[in-house]
Structure 1
Amino acid sequence: MLSVQIEKLIKSASDNIKQWETLFNLASHSHYSALIKECALDDVIATIKDVDILIGSLSPELLNLVNIRVRKHPYTTAYCLFPALNTDNVIAYLETQGIVKSYELAVVYDNDKFSIDVSSNKVSHVKGDSTQEASYSGCYLLLEFENGTSKVWYMDEYEMHSAFDAWQNKVFGGMDVFNNTLEWAGFALILRALKTLDMQDSVISHPILPVLKSRLTSYYSDFFKYYKEANNDKFASCVITSQYVSTEGGELEEALKKLDDIIEPPANIIVLGQHNRQVSNEDTEIKEASEDQCEFYNLDFGVI
């Protein structure tokens, strides 16, 4: 049940009253629902108006692509709303539009056997013993399109840690905005996927998708743009995943090159999980790139 105050704010800020009431009702049943009441009224109104322009102006029904979450402002530490993309709903929309046939989103653990053939976008993922404790080795999102092609986006463990720290410290103010690691990984990977989704002809010719993906990637990029401008911050540019994988960024790049020198898999094969663990156990030390050595260069929504 929505508070009277929230209902009034929705009615005063948006014409899409039904959709916003649904979003806030869903948020009110989450574990952080009490924090919504801590957000300033001006922030709630601004968020509603921003998302209405961003998504609602294309179609009110698209508002279900986001979940209402709460973050801490990294400068003021005040609680404020954060509209987080809902990976399941984004892909469900792509399915209704005849773009995507199916998808697979998963976290890879150290005791899993996992590999990607980037030339064919084929994934092999055999899960390890679930009764054993294991840390994360990476994550991936595989989309199979209606035209028979497929595409995979992934992050290895170093990318995951780098990306999580960047979002956590530079956008979320140290708060856990997502319920679990898989949910956060889906958010980061679907944003990465949106950047290159227009390689599909069905997306290019779609009446809404080209504008939608452009708006979404720009909107979430701005969170880091504001951080950089306010703090004159410098952080490493790391992995950019598209058809091929390249790495850049100070000491991280150097460390990954050391891994390549130890074991060189076929050029089109990327391994995580058990196979990757055999390499990283060779006393290879990964150090975080310092701000003095790294320039802010590119944003790829999994890795900063």
Structure 2
Amino acid sequence: MALHASPIATMSGGELRAYKKFNADESSTMPGRLGVKETLQSIYAHLVGQGGEQAKIFQFCTPTSYFGILYVDSVRMDVSNQSLLADAAFIPCHASADMAPLVVLLQARRDKIICIKMKEDEIIFWKHILPGFSERCRQWQHKPTCEYKVAGCIPISTDPDKRYMCTCGYNVFPTNYLKDLKQSKDLLKHAVRVAVPVIFASPINTDNPASLPSPSPPAKPPAKPPVKPQAQAPVDKPEPRLVDLSAKEGKCWECSAKRHENGGVLDRCGGCKMARYCSDGCQKKDWKKGHRQLCPQLKED
């Protein structure tokens, strides 16, 4: 389960390269969308006890306080997406929230709480996606006085001291939800049920380098005297990562030939064992065009 949520499984090739660069440069700030996937990996790793004590309670921290507490009841199969999701109660924290009952609960279970520290960019991402996670498992109706309707937007606000989720779903949970947690009745009065999934990269992401985040702005090149333009060799553009494998069956993945150039059967890719090629030249061309990203994914499957 922890490997299922790891950056190798959830990030595109470009995202993973950027993620490694940000981790190597401690002075840089990781973009929120990459931070969310890193946080999800940490949550699922703790749920199975990978590398330490197993835990089901997570405190989402800002640099100065915390903006939410997640209590996982169970991990369920997300059959429609062939993935997993954490079925949990989430307490949105903000300046106007009554935190007194939660303080007592936190003090009683301090050794079982995992604090996940986030930068502001990631916090804003979470405040946008948590309302969607609540809608995924909603078994209640929004009230006429719903805060989303009054504010005219979702989330209500991303300001640190303001509410960002509506209260319509508070305290609406199945019978015996979080039954192993003491004071769960007091807790659920402040919580809404959420389905927290593993988030994967889009299958149509072409990993355009211009669209990927950078740890630091690129340095401006020094001024050079003008030179006579020269013809440049064409650059192969990467193919989309969404590939129709059935259309490639029995054919060279580069030129669609059905036989090897020497007259024999097509060669097989030594990595994924699925791709076929009529020559070494076609295999090298397809590798540069995008098979280098697709090959590990087919191999893992």
TM-score (norm 2): 0.24
TM-score (norm 1): 0.24
Q: Which has the higher strand share?
A: 1
Q: Which has the higher helix share?
A: 1
